[in-house]
Chain A
Amino acid sequence: MWEASALTITVFLPLVGAALITLIPKAKEEAAKPVALGVSLLAFLLSLAILAGYYLGPPGGEGLAYQLRVDWIPVIDASYHVAIDGISLPLFVLSYLLTFLCAVYTFHHLEEPGRPKAFLSLMLLLQTGMAGTFVAFDLVLFFVFWELVLVPMYFMIGIWGGPRREYAAVKFFLYTLFGSVFMLVAFIALYFAGPGTFDIVALQQAGAAGEFGLTFQRLAFLGIFLGLAVKVPMWPFHTWLPDAHTEAPTVGSVLLAGILLKMGTYGFVRIALPILPDAAVEYAPIIGALAVIAILYGALCCLAQTDLKRLIAFSSVGHMGFVMLGIATLTPVGVNAAIFGMIAHGIITGMLFFAVGSIKERYHSRAIADIGGGVLQTMPRMGAVLTFVAIASLGLPPLPGFWGEVVALYAAFNPAEALVDAGFLTFFRVLMVLGAIGTVLTAGYFLNMLQKVTMGTAPARWREADLSDVSAIEWGAWSPLLVMTVAIGLVPVLVFGITDPAVSAVLTALGA
């Protein structure tokens, strides 16, 4: 029984938690925090159980596990089909971890309209949406979870955000919605052109068997590409990210950067590539080029930032560029690098936003000029954490960022045979060189930021302001992330081991 219902329980537990929290009377509002903490902890433990079960238990890390398929809308053959495999497992567990840490963090840190009840129920709703997306194996179900995520994040940014929160929230919502409309059209087209089902596994087999004509594949891929590219965000569609991040509350930014961006790239790996392999080969160079532009563009824009959170937002654009470069190569190595890059970016940028959020809270301003440097003096431990995470983010070797980037570059050096036959070998090698140059730009802007924020002597007013250093709650929220950053960096097999079998299985269609 546990085998079938495990995923459903874990996915919908936060939803139940959210409902529970709304029942708490207004007077005892503060009680919402421990409840949220408990629910998110329980959900996290369940996800760990699934991880262990998947690995140690019967499936032994091969193929789909914990499958449950129940008819939902029989007439269009849309079923509630949830399962989990190597690709979605790491992201699934990461989403629960980040939500749990955010629950811990909100004990003492909640932006000004307060109202923990509303905030925490929204956060748990968000978690259900995110977790659901990673386990949905039915296009309709995937789309439902995909849209579900937008609502809580919209309110989080819109209510608890910074000065320009309405603009940012509306822009975020409409932009993503605009993209996902095309994706929905593509899904429906897939339903009609394919074997008349929304089930991803069946569609993958159909895709592999080449049931979809090439022109159809091109259009369907374009639709799905638009929907996912907005989410990733890929280069031309990225302008919502800096606004959303600068205005979002700390927890919002962490979850937005930590998980939401990954839903886009995950979509590529789960839906776009396996179901439309021929179109994937044709679009791969375009995606690769856009990815490299994102890397260089993101890095250059970071050099020009004066706002700390906006800088990190643009750095996310750069890092996701590496992830997309990995995916664009259509090889198991590339996709492995992409998934690893996702996990690494999730942990590191999540931690980065936590640190910056705390600094913003103490300095009451995000502008680097206001901080005026010397954080290592005013708050030594905070400065140390920020330096460590910034260095991790710029891809220092033993830390995960490095593995994500270098393996992606390796994959770009020799892409899939299909691409080589199509004559894109030298093109991808040029992309690889440009990507490598991106790493030095990334190092450039992070060190530039570190120099302006942590080093030097703090201005007088901040020295006297005796800012409180990292508090116990913050250590509680951050230590798992810091430990994981080091652990996954030193022992990358933790993630590669899980994703490798699943990725090669999924990419068989591309003859990788």
Chain B
Amino acid sequence: MFSEWAWLIPALPAVSVLIITFTGRALPRRGAEVGLVAMAAALVLSLVVAWEVFSHNAGITQAIGPAGEAQAAPGGAEAFLLERGLTLTPLGGDLTVELGMRVDGLTAMMFLLVSAVSLMVHVYSVGYLRDDPRFTYFFALLSLFSFSMLLLVIASDLLVLLVGWELVGICSFLLIGFWWEDKHNQDASIKAFLTTKLGDVGLIIGVVALAGMFGTFSIQGVLDGIAAGGFEQGLLTFALLAMVLGAVGKSAQFPLHTWLPDAMAGPTPVSALIHAATMVTAGVFLVARLFPAYQAAPAAQATLAVIGAITLVMAGLLALVQTDLKKVLAYSTVSQLGYMVAALSFSYVAGIFHLFTHGFFKALLFLGAGSVIHAAHSNHMTDMGGLRRVMPVTFWTFLAGSLALIAIPPLAGFWSKDEILVAAFEAGGYTGGLVLVLGLLGGLITAFYMTRALYLVFAGEFRGHGHPHESEPAMTAPLVALAVPAVAIGWINLPFPAVQPLSFSSWVMFDVDYWVANPIELNAAIAALATALALAGVLGARAIYREAPERDPVHHLGLLSHVLERRYYLDDLYTDLIARTAVRDRLAPAAVWFSDRVLDGAVYWSGRGTAALGRVLYDTGDQRGIDGAINGLGASALWSGARMRLAQSGNVQLYAGALFIGVFVLAVVFATGA
């Protein structure tokens, strides 16, 4: 029973953090090897635990037989769930905080994803940051980040989950602001942290509300409470909506996504680790963790779908017009997260499967981008081009990743994105339809901007200065290693009934009845439509960028008419009408304007607004108002003292008169009193 040792997985990076911080500098490889060893061990342990969990689940589903025939689970066997924990502290009354682990299909999957990608990033960073003065500090942070992500995944108690959640936030703040010398990085890191922290407010309110309703912080307690019913529906919706705000903040969904592109200011391995595979998926993981709760609150699920749909389209459009390669990938991540969030409002497996596959090929794309940037010494695609011949390994792995992202059939992206569209189609209703339509449109846009990126970077002549060369093995090895899952990972969840019992959906199922109730099937029509749109996107972009990748038409909007005429012989009406005019020239700039001016402006001005409010409150309210009152009190004492002084006029007889008046009054009092 290896899953008993599952708590070792987060413990390993924690130990490595301590070792690196205290003895890092003295070590031969300045701390890097400690991080590597820890993550490798964690990966091995995750594989073992995953194997155990998945085989347990697969065993049950196999016994049931192919999904769809609704049979009772044999002997009432339950999906794999292991809960261990020790009471961290009593909080008063009967409330306690449990430091424990909750291992089930979802946790095992996340273990695999996080430790694999983290290991790749560790290996990659050894090469990428070789000559950086704060090399050891970087690896300490990487280990700390991995620890907090794994803690988030394994937590059995909402408070411990919140601890991991905020720790991940702080690590992203420190990692994004790794080169804190120049102001741009500082602003980016603070913006990232504050926007996610704004989301965290929602999460704190959600956690507190759920715990308040069910009297316990433990996840199992909350889920049992929901299963038992007898709670106020409105309050549950409020709590889950608050948590959605938290997820939106962390996973950079629609309103709070403005921090992600700026977060590219950090080193590329940071972007790969944090903004591709792990941190941003925390929001999606949170929703998946409390999926039964969301099932009980349809309103919350509807919001999830709407937010996801809007994000995937809007982010896709933004990716279209970016010149910075990492920004393109960042927006693409936001878009794919939109898919996952939308998927989770319909089907548990669809959302998670896409999260799993996306983690691998997006990390691959980021690392590939890192290697290209490292070679061309610039982020901007305008200074790249023609790298296909010079950097073959990077090219082929980047191509594989892109095709997977575009969801070309055999590759991973197709299977996972297709699930989402099928789930949306089956759910039907407004939200289902919205997600389906926008999902298909998103697929097109994704294909378009990825192909544009491919051409701008790898086709044509090299536009930058200096002469790029293939990156060193330490950087290319992870690329190849990640390319394999990018291509093959899709096949673990083929939507055919025969193979379902053994496939991914059974591995990560949290409840056998749920798995039986909504099986994964293939919907040929949607699959074909999605692939067609994807191919159209690719062809459209190829048509535009094949001849003159350096003259990126997106920048010379003025030349639009001239370029269009020369392409008139392109007979594919679809690419002209939709791809070039509507999508690229109208919607994209609008999206950019809306995102950068309106939303980013809102975030910026809210920051400055609060600062100004603070200043006004402090200057008037505090200093003049309350402090003024207190000082006024002191001053009034002085003033009245001065007035009283004048009574001593020196006129002795006046004093005597006052004396007699006193006598008079006393006499009256005694006389009347008696």
Contacts and interface: CB of A to CB of B under 8 A. Distances in A.
A175 to B, nearest CB: 7
Given A410-B212, A413-B209, A439-B197, A376 B618 contact: no
Nearest to A438: B201
A300 B208 CA distance: 24
Given A301-B617, A397-B167, A456-B186, A496 B90 contact: yes
B618 A304 contact: yes
A448 B193 CA distance: 11
Interface stretch (B286-294, B401-409, B436-444, B608-616): B608-616
Contact of A300 (B159, B211, B613): B613
Given A333-B92, A337-B92, A396-B167, 7 more contacts: A175-B630, A300-B610, A332-B93, A398-B163, A406-B159, A444-B197, A493-B87
Contacts of A396: 166-167, 170
B60 interface: no
Contacts of B615: 303-304
B553 interface: no
Contacts of A512: 93
A299 B611 CA distance: 10
A457 B91 contact: no
Contacts of A174: 634
B204 A336 contact: no
Nearest to A439: B201
Interface in B265-316: none
Nearest to A174: B634
Interface of B: 87-93, 95, 97, 159, 162-167, 170, 173, 177, 180-183, 186-187, 190, 193-194, 197-198, 200-201, 204-205, 207-209, 211-212, 607, 610-611, 613-619, 621-622, 626-627, 630, 634
A500 B92 contact: yes
A499 to B, nearest CB: 8
A443 B614 contact: no
Contacts of B181: 455-457
10 tightest A-B CB contacts, nearest first = A303-B614, A332-B92, A397-B163, A413-B212, A333-B92, A304-B615, A493-B89, A304-B618, A300-B614, A336-B92
A504 B194 contact: no
By size class, the interface of chain A is: 35 or more
A151 B127 CA distance: 62
Interface string A293-310: 000010111111100000
Contacts, number: 153
A448 B186 CA distance: 10
Given A301-B622, A414-B212, A447-B194, A397 B610 contact: no
A202 interface: no
Nearest to A411: B92
12 contacts: A239-B626, A300-B617, A376-B180, A397-B163, A397-B164, A402-B163, A406-B159, A433-B205, A444-B607, A451-B186, A492-B89, A500-B91
A444 B610 contact: yes
A59 interface: no
A455 B89 contact: no
A402 B198 contact: no
Contact of A436 (B90, B204, B616, B626): B204
A391 interface: yes
A504 B91 CA distance: 11
Contacts of A433: 205
A441 B626 contact: no
A76 interface: no
Given A436-B204, A440-B201, A407 B91 contact: yes
Contacts of A497: 89-90
A225 to B, nearest CB: 17
B617 A496 contact: no
B204 A406 contact: yes
A425 to B, nearest CB: 10
A53 to B, nearest CB: 22
Which among A396, A443, A497 has the highest number of chain B CB atoms within 10 Å? A443
Contacts of B205: 409, 432-433, 436
A304 to B, nearest CB: 4
A432 B206 CA distance: 11
B208 A304 contact: no
Given A333-B95, A406-B208, A436-B205, A500 B90 contact: yes
Contacts of B627: 239
Interface in A400-458: 402, 406-407, 409-411, 413-414, 432-433, 436-437, 439-441, 443-445, 447-448, 451, 455-457
Given A303-B615, A335-B92, A504-B92, A432 B208 contact: yes
Interface string A460-502: 0000000000000000000000000000000111001100100
Contacts of B619: 304
B97 A447 contact: no
A58 interface: no
A333 B93 contact: yes
Contacts of B190: 447-448, 451
A456 B180 contact: yes
Which among B93, B170, B194 has the highest number of chain A CB atoms within 10 Å? B93
A491 B90 CA distance: 11
Contacts of A436: 201, 204-205, 208
A308 B166 CA distance: 26
Contacts of A331: 92-93
A305 B617 CA distance: 11
A171 interface: yes
A305 B619 CA distance: 10
A391 B198 CA distance: 16
Nearest to A396: B170
B618 A305 contact: yes
Contacts of B186: 451, 455-456
A503 interface: yes
Given A447-B190, A492-B88, A409 B180 contact: no
Contacts of B208: 406, 409-410, 413, 432, 436
Contacts of B165: 397
Nearest to B622: A301
Nearest to B90: A500
A236 interface: yes
B521 to A, nearest CB: 42
Contacts of B607: 444
A440 to B, nearest CB: 5
Interface string A275-300: 00000000000000000000001011
A410 B209 CA distance: 8
Which among B89, B159, B607 has the highest number of chain A CB atoms within 10 Å? B89
Contacts of A457: 181
A144 to B, nearest CB: 26
A406 B89 CA distance: 14
B166 A402 contact: yes
A475 B615 CA distance: 36
Interface in A145-200: 171, 174-175
Contacts of B201: 436-437, 439-440
Contacts of B166: 396-397, 402
Contacts of A303: 610-611, 613-615
Given A300-B614, A304-B617, A440 B626 contact: no
Nearest to B195: A440
A443 B93 contact: no
A175 B614 CA distance: 25
Given A239-B622, A436-B205, A304 B194 contact: no
Contacts of B97: 492
A332 B92 CA distance: 5
A226 B255 CA distance: 44
B614 A301 contact: yes
Contacts of B187: 451
Nearest to A170: B634
Given A397-B166, A441-B610, A333 B204 contact: no
Contacts of B167: 396-398
Nearest to B202: A436
Which among B173, B180, B186, B611 has the highest number of chain A CB atoms within 10 Å? B180
